[in-house]
Amino acid sequence: MRAAIGTVSLTGAAMGFMTACGTGYDDEEAEARTVYCVDEQDQVVDEDLCEEAERSGGYVGGFPYFFLLGGFGGNRYSVGQTIPQQYTGAANRVNPSDTSARTRAGLPGSGRVSSGSRISGGIGSGRVGSGSVGS
């Protein structure tokens, strides 16, 4: 009888562990993420370019611009700085003109998003840190 109870308890614990592991979120997604407006070389550009790219299919003057969302090792980047590849590989790129992708990424569906903004709650939460979104 004791062995059966121990087996059931271990099985239940294993199932709980597997359920927790199967949420689809890793540690980075569970933490707040930062968003930057970048060009195709991952250089931070003025957020006006992403705002204009929103209105013109993701391109300005024939060049693509993106929102780059990720955990950047606690570093903050300014316009003109290039985000190191060690951070961009795990980051998500979002076309500023793709309303659905913006929403899934936790950004507002339209409007200005300031570079360096923190998005709390991870992918899909829809919550942007205070003071990070303007019109």
Q: Domain limits of the chain? A: 27-134
Angle at the Cα of 21 (from 18 to 23), degrees rounded to 5?
A: 115
> 48 vs 20, which has greater pLDDT?
48
pLDDT bucket at 32, cuts 50 / 70 / 90: confident
pTM value?
0.67
pLDDT tens-digit readout, 4-13: 444 443 333 3
pLDDT tens-digit readout, 120-135: 644 444 434 333 333 3
